[in-house]
């Protein structure tokens, strides 16, 4: 059995991960509407990853005999009024999610729930990668986004991203 607080935080994280998927779908839709299909593709795949993260939390809760409580998913509220906005909002969101993962990690460690700590190790590493990817996108946009030809090339680069399911074994 999981500690009550840890189980609650894990359940809350399920909803946060689904919200992340909604947010990234919103970014994807914005870029498709703006004619930047590569950027749209990049965020559509990002949404798939976040959905899979939610499913990993669900599986972990189920494997530990915990009830999964699904809550309503809030509508994304990021203001997307320029091409850089989703990129900066994406970085802020990943930093927020990193904080959430750290909170769960700390709660699990406090009650010596080392199985949950081990489960969360993958997410800690993943969040480092997510933040770096978001930072790299911002840097590339700042370098190339102002020039139409360079923006076209960056868009083409992002269109090559393909979905890869997470390799975490529960």
In which domain, by residue range, is 116 found? 4-70+79-159
Q: How many angstroms separate the CA atoms of 152 and 18, rounded?
A: 31
Query: Nearest Cα to 85, choosing from 26, 151, 21, 144?
Result: 26
Neighbours of 17 (CB within 10 A): 23
Does residue 105 fall inside a structural domain?
yes
Asked whether the beta carbons of 78 and 23 are under 8 A apart, the reply is yes
Task: Determine, yes or no, domain membership for 129.
Answer: yes
> Angle at CA 31, nearest 5°, toward 83 and 41?
125
Residue 164 lies in a domain: no
Q: For position 39, which CATH number holds?
A: 1.20.1260.10
Domain membership flag for residue 112: yes
- 14-60: pLDDT as tens digits: 999 999 999 999 999 999 999 999 999 999 999 999 999 999 999 99
Residue 107: what pLDDT? 98
Q: Is 90 exceeded by the pLDDT of residue 164?
A: no
Q: What is the pLDDT of residue 36?
A: 97
Work out how many domains the chain is built from and give that number: 1
Provide the pLDDT for residue 30: 98
In a domain, 165, yes or no: no
Do the domain assignments include residue 170?
no
Residue 102 lies in a domain: yes
Residue 84 lies in a domain: yes
Residues 114-155 pLDDT 10s: 999 999 999 999 999 999 999 999 999 999 988 999 999 999
Predicted TM-score of the model (pTM): 0.94
**Contacts with 146 (C-beta within 8 Å, 6 or more apart), sequence order:** none
Model pLDDT, residue 46 = 97
Q: How far is CA 113 from the centre of its chain?
A: 24
């Amino acid at each position: 059995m999981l500690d009550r607080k840890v189980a609650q935080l894990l359940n809350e994280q399920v909803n946060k991960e689904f919200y992340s998927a909604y947010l990234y779908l919103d970014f994807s839709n914005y870029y498709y509407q703006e004619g930047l299909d590569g950027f749209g593709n990049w965020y559509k795949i990002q949404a798939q990853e976040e959905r899979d993260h939610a499913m990993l939390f669900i599986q972990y809760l189920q494997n530990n005999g915990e009830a999964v409580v699904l809550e309503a998913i809030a509508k994304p509220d990021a203001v997307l009024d320029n091409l850089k906005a989703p990129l900066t909002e994406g970085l802020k969101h990943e930093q927020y999610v990193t904080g959430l993962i750290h909170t769960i990690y700390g709660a699990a460690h406090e009650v010596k729930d080392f199985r949950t700590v081990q489960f969360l190790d993958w997410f800690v590493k993943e969040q480092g990668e997510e933040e770096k990817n978001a930072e790299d996108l911002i840097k590339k946009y700042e370098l190339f986004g102002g020039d139409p030809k360079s923006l076209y090339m960056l868009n083409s680069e992002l269109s090559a991203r393909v979905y890869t399911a997470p390799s975490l074994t529960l």
